[in-house]
Amino acid sequence: MLRSIALTALLLGGLLPAAAQQPLRVTPESRAQVTLSYSPLVKKAQPSVVNVYASRTERRPSNPLFDDPIFRRFFGDREQRPGGPTAQSLGSGVIVDASGLVITNNHVIEGMTEVKVALSDRREFEAEIVLRDPRTDLAVLKIRNGAATYPAMDLGDSDALEVGDLVLALGNPFGVGQTVTQGIISALARTQVGITDYGFFIQTDAAINPGNSGGALVDMNARLVGINSAIFSKSGGSIGIGFAIPVNMVKIVVAAAKGGVRQVRRPWLGASLQAVSKEIADSLGMDRPAGALVSDLFPKSPGAEAGLQRGDVITAVDGLAVDDPESFGYRVGVRPLGGMVPITVLRRGKPVVVQVKLAPAPEIPPRESVTLAGRSPFTGATVVNLSPATAEEFSIDAVKEGVIVAEVEDGSPASAVGIQKGDVVIAVNDARITRTSELRSATATRQYYWKLTIARGGQIFNTVVGG
């Protein structure tokens, strides 16, 4: 490498005039010019970054035999008592409101019951979980400390970022304490990461390690531009490929938490979208494979009412480019409910703009939540009716009929046979299931065996379970 650099210098030396070969030397006029530093930015941002400690004490059965899932399956789950192992999680967070609202990653506090935050000045406080949003892997905490005020970080605009911009990452890697690393924006709009439903990540080479999750990615004005969430690594350590959730998505979740809701609701298009392959692009006369192809439309949905058609290729939302279905989901997902948004589509080779209403997915039919009891494989599972709203809530695509498993009680027969949250129950003993009341009736009588048809992760499984 040194050899090639030297050769380049020699070649340039023979071409440039003598004056240009001399390095420009200017005497520094101030201390700031001598000692350039990120210290002022760090001093401004650091008080807003916290460490997040989450834990959960497992419960253990009063009889050791109940540690055996097969035993629990046949005899039910008996009274349990505390004293089991403690599950723990460590991450970071950012104060985004002076009242003590903290944004962090949902995976940092997922399944946890006790949460504490430690400020940069080493004060520690208990915190309550105000809002979880698994679809974006974000969660909002509230510091429990009366009417105290806290140093909130200013929020930037992630759409204004450009590749090459300088950024700082603040967090608590490996639990060693608050740490700052520096890098640049390596890429924008990374959509094939597979971490969240709204995959539209900022990629940075600022060192991010385990424990940085939920920490701040800040710009050169000490404004929050992203929440550090994941790394690409084969060793578990940073290799310069980190991913952060854009702050414009964070704003939507924080606004929902301030509004007192328990679930973030976003605009719903009511259409099935697929990526545009090279073959599809060629068949449509497109110069490159980009956009989101409308493959199906839900009747009376905002997309259908706006005049979208099957075969349309969505190329932009309010003038912002759409490269694939994930980027469309993000562009619409950061919009508040209400009003309209212009969506540009390519239809038969020509651009067309349609105005789409920003409305949430309807809960039709109503969810009619039911917790199943008795002696069936679903005992201990809570199910809800499938609707556009619940399908969006549980990230379910391509399933039109059935009921959704919303919760599974730990140690229940449903848990023992492998029923999972997000499963869609389509049939029991070959009887179609379309409402929660039908599943309750179908499981009311004990059977010698149960034939189950379940959709999970886009695939349909048939299995037989003993009665």
Ordered DSSP codes for 307-374: T--TT-EEEEETTEE--SHHHHHHHHHTSPSSSEEEEEEEETTEEEEEEEE--BPP--S----EE--S
Q: Residue 136: which of 203, 214, 204, 195 has the closest Cα?
A: 195
Distances 295 to 256, 309, 358 between C-alpha atoms, Å:
31, 9, 20
Is 107 labeled as catalytic in the residue annotation? yes
Kindly state the tokens that stand for 265.
């609701």
Neighbours of 375 (CB within 10 A): 14
C-alpha span between 165 and 184 (Å, rounded): 5
**Dist. CA 67–CA 80, nearest whole Å:** 11
Find out whether 113 and 40 touch, Cβ atoms under 8 Å.
no
Q: How far apart are CA 458 and CA 404, in angstroms?
A: 13
| Percent composition of the chain: helix, strand, coil (DSSP 3-state, to 5) | 20, 35, 40
- Type of residue numbered 240: G
Q: Kindly state the tokens that stand for 394.
A: 């549980």
For residues 174 and 36, the answer to whether their CB atoms sit within 8 Å is no
Here the contacts of 10-19 (C-beta below 8 Å, separation 24 or greater) are none
Check 48, 89, 213, 301 and give the catalytic one: 213
Compute the radius of gyration of the chain from its Cα atoms: 27
| Catalytic residue from among 107, 205, 323, 415 | 107
The length of the chain is 467
Residue of 77, 133, 137, 323 marked catalytic: 137
Identify whether the C-beta of residue 246 lies closer than 8 Å to the C-beta of residue 167: no
Task: Count the Cβ atoms, other than its own, within 10 Å of residue 256.
Answer: 21
List, by residue number, the catalytic residues: 107, 137, 213
